[in-house]
Amino acid sequence: MHAKGGIATAMTERIAIYPGSFDPPTNGHLDIVGRAAAMFDRVVVAVGLNRAKRTFFSDDDRVALMREACARWTNVEVRGFDTLTVDFARAAGARWIIRGIRALSDFEFEFEMANMNRRLAPGIEMVFLMTAPEYLFLSASRVKELAAFGADVSDMVPPNVAARLRADGKKSGLRTGATEPTD
């Protein structure tokens, strides 16, 4: 009886995933999470693991940092994934994939990905949220670069990430993250 009710709820629930590298999570990412959480019943933030793209923070760290930063939203959960995004979406029961768009430079890449995803999974819709203007020039790679030089990034990232960057800065290991391509 209970199980039946559960399945019915799951089928009607509007679930979206928000995939990304989150290396590390920034306030721009969290702005998108918060807005998505207000639009959908449930949002699964999907942290890409074992990517071709080399990340500064480990898989476990990126999941943990994002999980802490998202704890304020009761309908948001954070999970790692290492499959095709559309396959993860299907497995999560999601019919929407959220992406954030900052500028024209994001557009071309996202447009290509969206068309690919549409071919792979016609039933899944991509949803693009425009960045809030204050986060237009905020990227994870810029944050890493600034932190590596000891700049204060506490207004660009959630408090747990700021604390982590400060701790890593002291160990001065962050410089290696400064030359990564824009993310």
* Contacts with ligand ADP, residue ranges (CB under 6 A): 20-22, 26, 28-29, 32, 99-102, 106, 131, 135, 138-140, 183
Least Å from the CB of residue 113 to ligand ADP: 9
Among residues 155 and 170, whose Cβ is nearest to ligand ADP?
Answer: 155
Among residues 21 and 117, whose Cβ is nearest to ligand ADP?
Answer: 21
Among residues 29 and 42, whose Cβ is nearest to ligand ADP?
Answer: 29
How many Cα atoms are found within 13 Å in the side-chain-facing hemisphere of 86? 14
Among residues 10 and 84, whose Cβ is nearest to ligand ADP?
Answer: 84
Least Å from the CB of residue 28 to ligand ADP: 2
Least Å from the CB of residue 128 to ligand ADP: 8
Among residues 13 and 31, whose Cβ is nearest to ligand ADP?
Answer: 31
Least Å from the CB of residue 132 to ligand ADP: 7
Least Å from the CB of residue 143 to ligand ADP: 10
